[in-house]
Amino acid sequence: MSVSLLIADIGGTNARFALADPHAAVPLVEDSVREFAVADFPSLADAARHYLEQAGAQASRGVFAVAGRVDGDEARITNHPWVISRSRTCEMLGFDQVHLLNDFAAQGMAISLYRPEDVVAIGGAAWTPAPVEQPRTYAVLGPGTGLGVGGLIIRDGRCYPLETEGGHVSFPPGTPEEIRILDILSAQFGRVSNERLICGPGLVNIHRALCEIAGVDPGLLEPKDITARAAAGDPLGMRAVDVFCAVFGAIAGDLVLTLGAWDGVFLTGGLVPKMLDSLRHSGFRQRFEYKGRFSPTMARVPSLAVVHPRAGLLGAAAYAVDLLRREAR
């Protein structure tokens, strides 16, 4: 198999690669997707070469979405030691072009290709895909290894993804319990960002803080241990999940207000599909809407859990197609 577009979604834990067909209605070539642990490779170029060899494919251009800030020629993975040079990667792969974008810019671009079955509404506000000719403003955020935040602005038939590091905004507690959690995490970390609570390790931080409040030693746990305890009826595990969902909702609502994303917020990231039932039956939507004088407005804003299994790659493919369209004009 041979195409000219290689796409990737690079997180703090996994690197997902695929091929893109710019002439297809859905440009992501589904059966080309492969996933590797980033720790297994010294660089993005090495991982990309390994993928192309495994897939038996050739490429001359790459679009790589990375979980970190893209600054000119360079991107640093926030939760992994890779430092990616666009020009060096292009040279190492022998490509004509390489484009780097923030992973949540790719998540934003994916919104332009979502179908109704790719999302599940959290709350009663419904969403219907709109033609790209209609102006729209969307927010996107999601917990995985970290907390990604972005947006998508659609104007005059063009999609403009927003690249942000909004996961590192300071955490604003909304209840006395959350104030106590903040105090405990501040003693450990100093400044506490939203990402310290809303991501996989963040769920562990919340649980550990609740255990300290209760005078219990939880031992060393992973996020899956806490969700398993919650499912088994453990009170502290259940409370940790409840606090996680409520804080997630408050942060999502704040992002809508910040961006003016009245057309909807998309919840993505590795934890969302795993916690879908918890999100639907938690205080997420209540805290999302609880915005004082703007509460009636927020009640009309859709909050949508993304269940598409490869949203980052879908967005990278959409970005690649958009680049080709611009070059053809």
**Is 9 annotated as a binding-site member?**
yes
DSSP 8-state class, residue 153: E
**Is 122 annotated as a binding-site member?**
no
Residue 68: partners with Cβ closer than 8 Å, 6 or more residues away: 75, 76, 77, 78, 102, 103
Distance CA 227, CA 240 (A): 9
| Cα-based distances in Å from 152 to 22, 120, 320 | 20, 19, 16
Residue 256's closest CA among 323, 293, 306, 302?
Answer: 302
User: Contact 270/145 with Cβ under 8 angstroms?
Assistant: yes
Q: How many CA atoms lie within 13 A of 136 on its CB side?
A: 26
**Is 227 annotated as a binding-site member?**
no
**Is 13 annotated as a binding-site member?**
yes
User: Contact 64/312 with Cβ under 8 angstroms?
Assistant: no
List, as one string, the DSSP characters of 3-19.
Answer: -SEEEEEE-SSEEEEEE
Q: Which amino acid does the sequence have at 230?
A: A
**Is 270 annotated as a binding-site member?**
no
**Is 10 annotated as a binding-site member?**
yes
Residues making up the annotated binding site for ATP are 8-13
Residues making up the annotated binding site are 8-13
